[in-house]
Structure formats: C-alpha cells, structure tokens
Amino acid sequence: QEAIFELSRGEQDLIDDLKLARKAYHDPMLKLSIMSEEELTHIFGNLDAYIPLHEDLLVQLSKVTDPDGTVGEIGQIFANWLPRLNAYKDYCSNQLA
C-alpha cells in the first residue's frame, strides 16, 4: 500500500513539474523566440502528450482507491497504461550516451 501511495504521489509531483517546465521555460522561450519549437521539443519532449498521459494514470489510480486510502488491484491499470509510454520514445531516442 505504501508503494502504491508513493506512486500516486510521484505521479502528482511529476505532473506538477511538467506543467511548471512548460509554463516557466518552454512557453516563454518559444514566445520570445529564444528557441524554436524543434529545439524545445528536443529538450522537453512533447509536454502536451506527457501531461495528460500522467494525469490519466493518476485518475485511474484514484478510481481504485478506497475512502480509507487502500488500493486493491492495479495490475490491469498498468497493463492498459504502459503501452502509452510510447509517447516518450522519440524523446528518449534524442538522448546521447
């Protein structure tokens, strides 16, 4: 139960961080023409895809969380959600060894 709680908490933190990265860095640099969309995508990836991806996981986890905070089975949630991580494929392929 603690690991599932930490997972949910981590997803919320990640969502907050991705939104902050978009608001504080990505969008201003694009608006001020400091960097092109292509350059920003190379650095930040597709934030417009990542944020809803993680928000959906958080919603799915909250649906199976009982009022007392315990969670039953989450295996099927991950089985359905993990293939969506392909959204990160292009971003990860940009990373240099």
Domain that residue 22 falls in: 2-93
Structural domain total, the chain: 1
Query: What per-residue confidence (pLDDT) applies to 85?
Result: 93
* Token reading at 96: 């240099």
Question: What is the rounded average pLDDT for all residues in the chain?
Answer: 92
The pTM of this model reads: 0.87
User: What is the mean pLDDT of the segment spanning 66-92?
Assistant: 90
**Long-range contacts (CB closer than 8 Å, 24 or more residues apart) made by 67-70:** 69/1, 69/5, 70/1
Query: What per-residue confidence (pLDDT) applies to 96?
Result: 66
User: What is the mean pLDDT of the segment spanning 35-58?
Assistant: 94
CATH code, domain with 8 = 1.20.900.10
Residue 43 CB neighbour total at 10 angstroms = 13
